Chain A
Amino acid sequence: MELTADRITKQYKNKIAVDRMSFALTKGVTGLLGANGAGKTTLMRILCGILVPDSGTVTCDGMDVETEEYREILGYLPQEFGYYPEFTGRDFLLYMSAVKGLRKPDADQKTAELIELVGLKDAARKKVRTYSGGMKQRLGIAQALLNDPQILIMDEPTAGLDPQERIRFRNLIADIGKNRIVLLSTHIVSDLEHIADGLMIMKEGRLLWQGAWNADEGDLEEFYISKIGDNQ
């Protein structure tokens, strides 16, 4: 399976958010690094079919990202999200299962599994509005995994997680990324250091660097700063 972007460009009024980016993602965890405003969120929305690029194409094994078939194998965690106020954690996951098209028995089973996996068993029947930031984030991560996605795109997934939760999340993503395409964006370099198989570095809408990453090669933070510095 390969997710391919070919010369995609997205412009907002007088700002180019994504500038002629081309790349291909295969199985494994790819980290998307970049400062705030580098265009990471716009790129991720384009890869999810939420935003239509001004030019260029995104396909997955020849399948357009705007199709239902693509969305069926996609898991997405946006940077900022909300929830309907009447929902409990369980209701939220059941609702997302329905929108993802899961039938009731599968939805019940997946919801129960994921609630346990993200450590929300005790809070599953409490209203989401009573959750802490970390609990909401874990709920967001759970919904992204509901449909056994083959492509998992997560925008700043570790935001709001405490250090313990961060480590658990990293382990989870490392396991999931073994046989799926996982793209996660962050500006916290240490989130990627030990789990990313590949890296993409963005600056001002452009792809500065893309390649395989091995944690033994050195310090990722230094590497990132050197790449950003080279470009200045």
Chain B
Amino acid sequence: MNNEKLISQIRVLCHSPHPENKKEFFQHLKEQEMVNRRLRVMSHGEFLACQLFYIRKWTWMLSGCLLLFIIWISYRHPGNYPFALTPLLSTVILLETRRSFRWKMAEFEHAARFSLRSVILARLFLLGTVNTVGLLIVILIVRPFFSYSLIRVFLYMMVPYLTASWLGSVYERMHRTDQGMGSTMISISSSAFFAVAPAFFSQLYEERLTVLWAAAFVLMACSVTRNLREWICNMEEPVWN
């Protein structure tokens, strides 16, 4: 193949297409300016609803599978092991918050009207709400498999879930990893801890200490809320430094 033929083939291959309807585009912009019309924008509620479709399918599937697994294991082994699985739910939520950074979309999102903060808050809210409601439904379903009262099953499920959420979000706030490996490890460690805890601290699961679990629940719920608030308030600045 001679050089000229090669050059002409490269030219054809590397040809970049012409812009189309450029005049119409600018005419459209002019018309909008003449009538002083800004594009109509979404409300925060509409934004929240549309973010639902941008959370990956496998994230929802993972949450669903985990909840189903908790039901199955509660049915087969209604000991303390089902309680140790709830920290894994928090991983699903925390990993979703890293997505913008992992795929380098954070800068785009930050400069947009709804900003990075809104995007992450929306994802946290949607996944957090769905997972928590899902877990509450699971608690109602699995309660008959346990010898504990409903309130105790609720506390034994929720405290590990909130503990892992709190520790994971503290880690993410301080280290801001792209892959979310730290929070995943924390969730797995929390899960392992709550799996072996009954063997070493069996008295923890006695009825007289339910008040202690209730206090832990309140403390963890407050800690998660407080940490998320700090995280969201200081999200942008450290990301770029």
Q: Report B's interface with A, CB cutoff 8 A.
A: 14-22, 24-26, 28-29, 32-33, 38-42, 46-47, 50-51, 54, 56, 99, 103-105, 107-115, 119, 236-237, 240-241
Out of A68, A165, A175, which one reaches B16, CB within 8 Å?
A: A165
Give the residues from 60 to 96 in chain A that come closer than 8 angstroms, CB to CB, to chain B.
68, 71-72, 74, 76, 78, 80-86, 95-96
Give the residues from 95 to 148 in chain A that come closer than 8 angstroms, CB to CB, to chain B.
95-96, 98-103, 106, 110, 113-114, 116-122, 134, 143, 147-148
Q: How far is the CB of B125 from chain A (nearest CB, A)?
A: 16
Kindly specify which of A18-26, A27-35, A48-56, A211-219 makes contact with the partner chain.
Answer: A48-56
Q: How far is the CB of B108 from chain A (nearest CB, A)?
A: 6
- The reply to whether A51 and B108 form a contact with Cβ atoms under 8 Å apart is no
Does A190 make an interface contact (CB < 8 A)? no
Give the residues from 152 to 169 in chain A that come closer than 8 angstroms, CB to CB, to chain B.
162, 164-165, 168
Does A179 make an interface contact (CB < 8 A)? yes
- The reply to whether B42 and A51 form a contact with Cβ atoms under 8 Å apart is no
- The reply to whether B114 and A100 form a contact with Cβ atoms under 8 Å apart is yes
Q: How far is the CB of B118 from chain A (nearest CB, A)?
A: 8
Q: How many residue-residue contacts, CB under 8 A, span A and B? A: 130
Q: Report A's interface with B, CB cutoff 8 A.
A: 12, 45, 48-52, 68, 71-72, 74, 76, 78, 80-86, 95-96, 98-103, 106, 110, 113-114, 116-122, 134, 143, 147-148, 162, 164-165, 168, 172, 175, 179
Q: How far is the CB of A20 from chain B (nearest CB, A)?
A: 20
Out of B25, B33, B240, which one reaches A113, CB within 8 Å?
A: B25
In the bound complex, what is the Cα–Cα distance between A105 and B17 (angstroms)?
26
Q: Assuming A99-B108, A117-B21, A148-B29, what are 5 further A-B pairs, CB within 8 angstroms?
A: A51-B236, A82-B105, A98-B47, A106-B39, A119-B20
In the bound complex, what is the Cα–Cα distance between A45 and B54 (angstroms)?
26
